[in-house]
Amino acid sequence: MDRKTFIKTCGIACVGGAAMTTFLQSCGISKTITGTINNNDLFVALSDFETKAGNEIHYKKYVIVNNETLKFPICVYRHDAKNYTALWMQCTHQGAELQVYGDKLQCPAHGSEFNNKGEVTNSPASQGLRAFPVTIINNQLQISLKAV
């Protein structure tokens, strides 16, 4: 490949990458947010689950909530408008951070898997994930973090 062809190919790849980033952001694929902590509660706006397509509102299956005071992120699943599950993203096998793939959380260390309720679906982990009580208050989720 000569220099001119190389530059042209790289330019097309860059434009493609930028377009894909814009597309993913507009689809709401980016699901990591920063939550607010007040006393022992983490607050997440219900609107953080919303994505808009024209005039229609769609909802993300989950958001991953970070906060600088948390050792691990918390994955919050939206089952429906009134039911949410907040899961500590630390594997119960040997403590690695989990990764989210749709309705399941996977451990990159040894392959354990958990469903969107935190139940073990694949070993070696034998214990479910830590789940936090979730209450809906004024268009926000209040996630109780007592004893994290």
Binding site for ligand FES (CB under 6 A): 91, 93-96, 107, 109-112, 124-125
Those residues whose C-beta lies under 8 Å from the C-beta of residue 125, and which sit 6 or more positions away, are 91, 92, 93, 107, 112, 114
Q: Taking the complex as a whole, how short is the minimal distance between the CB of residue 119 and ligand FES, in angstroms?
A: 15
Residues 59 and 109: their CA atoms lie apart, in Å, by 30
Q: Taking the complex as a whole, how short is the minimal distance between the CB of residue 60 and ligand FES, in angstroms?
A: 25
Could you count the other beta carbons within 10 Å of the beta carbon of residue 131? Answer: 15
Q: Taking the complex as a whole, how short is the minimal distance between the CB of residue 116 and ligand FES, in angstroms?
A: 17
**In one letter, which amino acid is 148?**
V
Structural tokens at position 144: 């109780």
Map tokens 């970070």 to a residue: 66
Structural tokens at position 118: 């935190």
Nearer to ligand FES, 44 or 107 (CB): 107
Q: Taking the complex as a whole, how short is the minimal distance between the CB of residue 88 and ligand FES, in angstroms?
A: 13
Nearer to ligand FES, 76 or 91 (CB): 91
Nearer to ligand FES, 43 or 72 (CB): 72
Nearer to ligand FES, 16 or 108 (CB): 108
Residues 125 and 74: their CA atoms lie apart, in Å, by 18
